[in-house]
Amino acid sequence: MINFENNPLIEKTVKFSLDIIEFCELLESKKKFVIAKQLLRSGTSIGANSFEAQNPYSKKDFVNKIKIAAKELEETKYWLYLCKYSQSYPFNENLETQIIEIGKIIYKILSTSLSNENGQ
């Protein structure tokens, strides 16, 4: 079992995933099914890939999983952006704050991992 205590990325992505689930349920209750489905998939995938990266086969596998998490993060930002600026969709500012914090962690991990990879 992966120990994710004191692992800010895992702690934040698990909380974010739970909050995304709740927000997507709200979207579905308002019959916003398409974006709810897309947001649920990409938003929870950030955490799933980050979690999977904690037990990699190799350094390359670790970086690949974090890169996938970063791509899913960007897609999630897009769906949240649409909710924020659409007049007929609800929006949750807390999700926006969380995704920014998670992005800082993921991009720092990527930057460090890639510079270590290139420096060896």
| Domains of the chain listed by start with CATH number | 8-112 (1.20.1440.60)
Indicate the helix (H) or strand (E) that contains 33: helix 33-53
Q: What's this model's pTM, rounded to 2 decimal places?
A: 0.92
pLDDT in the model for residue 1: 56
pLDDT in the model for residue 2: 59
Task: Estimate to the nearest angstrom the gap between the alpha carbon of 35 and the chain centroid.
Answer: 16
pLDDT in the model for residue 27: 98
pLDDT digits (tens, 9 = 90+) for 78-109: 999 999 999 999 999 999 999 999 999 999 99
pLDDT in the model for residue 56: 94
Show the low-confidence residues of the chain (pLDDT under 50).
none
Classify residue 5 by burial, with Cβ atoms within 10 Å: 0-12, 13-18, 19+.
exposed
